[in-house]
């Protein structure tokens, strides 16, 4: 097969980690198929030389770029004689000239909630999202929760939806104190803080973490550290800074912003507990990376978090209840016995996630997609495999 991997993404996030990890594993592990990489001109990957060809996409305003994807890309793929096209994170043509796979990282409802003030995003998903799921030859989802959502509520054929769990980078691991000390010292931190890992956006419900910390300010001395992008398109950084001042805990809160990937495991290891009362998650990268370091998590019950977190997570049913969140954080911070038990459960839960396994399962989906197109006549017309006409 000749497989086109669409590597386009615009912000660093869990989704961009997925793009890079899966693509690299496929290029290094799969010696039977040829790969074409679709990327932006300013994107550079140390492993891209392993691909057979590279296609450069324009980086325009969203509307123009989507038009290029819809009207030009299908013909480029046909000329390149591509057998399967996979949009790992970028939009794919609603109707393609080759069999197409798309990955759903979260649910339609989570997009709407994350971009609740952005009419352009609402319009984009209203006109585009449902059509893509229905016209793609196959859909990869990152959890059973997302699969159930798009098959039950958006009427996507269950036969073509495949669950492939993300892996977790091996750099996330329990680290000794002497190894994390230089990174923490760079930021003026001491071990034992409460961590919020993830981009600072409303969907992460970080305002509830601030309110919980305000309840604990006279009981425990642990500060709260936010680790994640502050300039996300839907950032709530200013609102959180104002809330921290209003709650009287501004001196107990640190916003580190986006940090080099190499420093993140040490910063996670320095935490005593991670607070993750998210409003919606398709997979929960931040939670799983934290668990792989053996750090306990207090998480909401949304999406796949209860299933994936296993015995490494304390769950909060009402994710907006700051009193309950404060109580759970207090228990983890003050009880060595509880923290050690959760830490063992965290390592067991995270051990199930492997990027090599994820890459192999992606390849199985590509083989299914190619086989389905061949079985229906080896010809795909505008995204729908159709039987060849009799001679």
- The answer on 369 and 331 residing in a single domain is no
Round to whole Å and give the CA distance between 159 and 157: 5
Q: What is the mean pLDDT of residues 76-92?
A: 93
pLDDT per position as a tens digit, 152-208: 877 889 999 999 999 998 899 999 999 999 999 999 999 999 999 999 999 899 999
Question: In 136-219, where does DSSP find H-type helix?
Answer: 144-152, 177-186, 206-216
- Report CA torsion sign: 278, 217, 229, 245: positive
Residue 254 per-residue DSSP state: E
- The answer on 103 and 228 residing in a single domain is no
pLDDT per position as a tens digit, 323-347: 999 999 999 999 999 999 999 999 9
Pairing verdict, β 100-104 and 271-276: unpaired
Is residue 172 in some structural domain?
no
- The answer on 62 and 23 residing in a single domain is yes
**pLDDT for position 150:** 83
Helix, strand, coil % over all residues of the chain, rounded to 5: 45, 15, 35
Cβ contact 305:228 at 8 Å: no
Of 4-13, 17-26, 76-85, 272-281, where does mean pLDDT reach its minimum?
Answer: 4-13
| Res 144 pLDDT > 90 | no
- The answer on 221 and 191 residing in a single domain is yes
**pLDDT for position 391:** 31
Proportion of the chain above pLDDT 70, given as a percent: 90
- The answer on 84 and 24 residing in a single domain is yes
Q: What is the mean pLDDT of residues 218-242?
A: 92
Domain span holding position 378: 2-167+355-385
Tell me the range of 104-118, 128-142, 283-297 where mean pLDDT is highest.
Answer: 283-297
Average pLDDT of the chain to the nearest whole number: 89
Cβ contact 101:87 at 8 Å: yes
- The answer on 254 and 128 residing in a single domain is no
DSSP bridge pairs for 38: 6, 55
Q: What is the number of structural domains in the chain?
A: 2
| Res 108 pLDDT > 80 | no
- The answer on 330 and 213 residing in a single domain is yes
Is residue 391 in some structural domain?
no
**pLDDT for position 234:** 82
Of 199-208, 271-280, 381-390, where does mean pLDDT reach its minimum?
Answer: 381-390
- The answer on 35 and 160 residing in a single domain is yes
Tokens of 83: 């057998």
DSSP bridge pairs for 84: 3
Tokens of 207: 């305002």
- The answer on 186 and 49 residing in a single domain is no
| Res 2 pLDDT > 90 | yes
- The answer on 128 and 35 residing in a single domain is yes
pLDDT per position as a tens digit, 290-330: 999 999 999 999 888 998 999 999 999 999 999 999 999 99
Specify the CATH number for the domain of residue 312: 3.40.50.2000
- The answer on 119 and 74 residing in a single domain is yes
- The answer on 237 and 115 residing in a single domain is no
Is residue 294 in some structural domain?
yes
């Amino acid at each position: 097969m000749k497989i086109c991997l669409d590597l386009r993404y615009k912000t660093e996030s869990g989704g961009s980690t997925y793009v890079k990890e899966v693509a690299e594993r496929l290029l290094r592990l799969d010696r039977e198929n040829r790969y074409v990489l679709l990327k932006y001109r300013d994107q550079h990957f140390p492993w891209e030389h392993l691909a057979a060809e590279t296609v450069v996409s324009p980086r325009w305003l969203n509307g123009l770029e989507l038009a290029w994807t819809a009207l030009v890309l299908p013909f480029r793929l046909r000329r390149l004689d591509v057998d399967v096209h996979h949009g790992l994170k970028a939009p794919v043509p609603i109707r393609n000239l080759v069999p197409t796979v798309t990955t759903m990282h979260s649910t339609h409802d989570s997009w709407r909630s994350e971009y609740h003030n952005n009419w352009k995003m609402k319009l984009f998903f209203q006109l585009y999202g449902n059509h893509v799921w229905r016209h793609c030859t196959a859909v990869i989802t990152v959890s059973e929760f997302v699969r159930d959502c798009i098959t039950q509520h958006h009427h996507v054929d269950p036969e073509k939806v495949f669950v492939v769990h993300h892996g977790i980078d091996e750099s996330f691991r329990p680290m000794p104190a002497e190894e994390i000390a230089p990174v923490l010292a760079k930021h003026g931190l001491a071990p034992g803080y409460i961590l919020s890992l993830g981009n600072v956006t409303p969907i992460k419900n970080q305002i509830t973490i601030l309110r919980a910390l305000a309840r604990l300010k006279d009981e425990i001395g642990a500060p709260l550290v936010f680790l994640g992008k502050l300039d996300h398109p839907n950032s709530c950084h200013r609102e959180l800074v104002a809330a921290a001042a209003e709650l009287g805990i501004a001196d107990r809160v640190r916003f580190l912003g986006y940090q080099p990937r190499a420093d993140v495991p040490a910063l996670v290891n320095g935490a005593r507990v991670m607070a993750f009362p998210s409003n919606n998650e398709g997979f929960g990268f931040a939670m799983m990376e934290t668990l792989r370091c053996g750090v306990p998590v207090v998480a909401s019950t949304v999406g796949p978090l209860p299933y994936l977190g296993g015995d490494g997570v304390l769950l909060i049913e009402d994710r907006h209840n700051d009193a309950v969140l404060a109580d759970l954080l207090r228990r983890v911070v003050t009880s060595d016995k509880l923290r050690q038990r959760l830490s063992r459960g965290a390592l067991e839960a995270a051990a199930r996630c492997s990027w090599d396994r994820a890459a192999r399962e992606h390849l199985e989906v590509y083989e299914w997609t190619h086989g389905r197109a061949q079985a229906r006549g080896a010809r795909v017309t505008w995204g729908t495999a159709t039987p060849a006409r009799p001679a």
